[in-house]
Copies of this chain bind each other. A is one copy, B any other.
């Protein structure tokens, strides 16, 4: 008897209407929280796979790509040890795990769904491990509300959210980006996952456009994420001063070598990727 799961791509902003990723499953566990449905699949190819409301969020096999790439380009651009970092979303803990490698004093993680965090702590220990670190301050609240009124508190703000449906929708709007800008310290950096430029072209374009109304420097970049729609994924950095493309090559190489000596090898990010990820194919910002 064989068990298979297909994520059929759908929902607001999804350009694909008849495509899915199909994976062979050894075992499945499901749960329901006040915010969403959780499905944990033990898959043949990707190890454990976390699915929220039918959409694959993270897998043991390829989570390193998403988590390294949402964190390291911004943190290596910052050019100083971060005192305080904010993560909005990021319930599985992988983003916090990568941030801690930069020795921050404190990480605030604001996640709306406490049960996802508890589920990840129990079922995905290699991803959620860092959530027990004493520098991590877990706040179960609405990230949109949390950031309102904060001024010059954070060195880096990372939005590790799901698609613009349900609770995450407000995290794609200009008002939120304005509040985030105010919450950043001098020289601080905002970064958000910004969907697939192939499968969610309009949503990606809108994130970049809205960020440009708020931040003078806006830099979208790409990574290969095999278990996300189309495999072509994007993140976007917004900042007032700090520019990932203006980081000096030799200086970055030095910081990276020191980082690896102290914290161990990374699996995706390196100085070549730091610059190369910002190369964007022509079709992404062109009308069809």
Contact = CB atoms under 8 A, between A and B. Distances in A.
Copies of this chain, how many? 2
A222 interface: yes
Contacts of A65: 281
A232 interface: yes
Interface stretch (A96-104, A130-138, A147-155, A270-278): A270-278
Interface string A18-53: 111111110000000000000000011100000000
Contacts of A8: 22
Contact of A283 (B17, B18, B268, B275): B268
A118 interface: no
A11 interface: no
A86 B224 CA distance: 31
A57 interface: no
Contacts of A226: 198-199, 230-232
Given A230-B226, A268-B283, A277-B279, A22 B24 contact: no
Interface in A246-288: 265-270, 272-273, 275-283, 286
Contacts of A126: none
A170 interface: no
A261 to B, nearest CB: 15
The 3 lowest CB-CB distance pairs between A and B, nearest first, are A231-B231, A18-B24, A276-B279
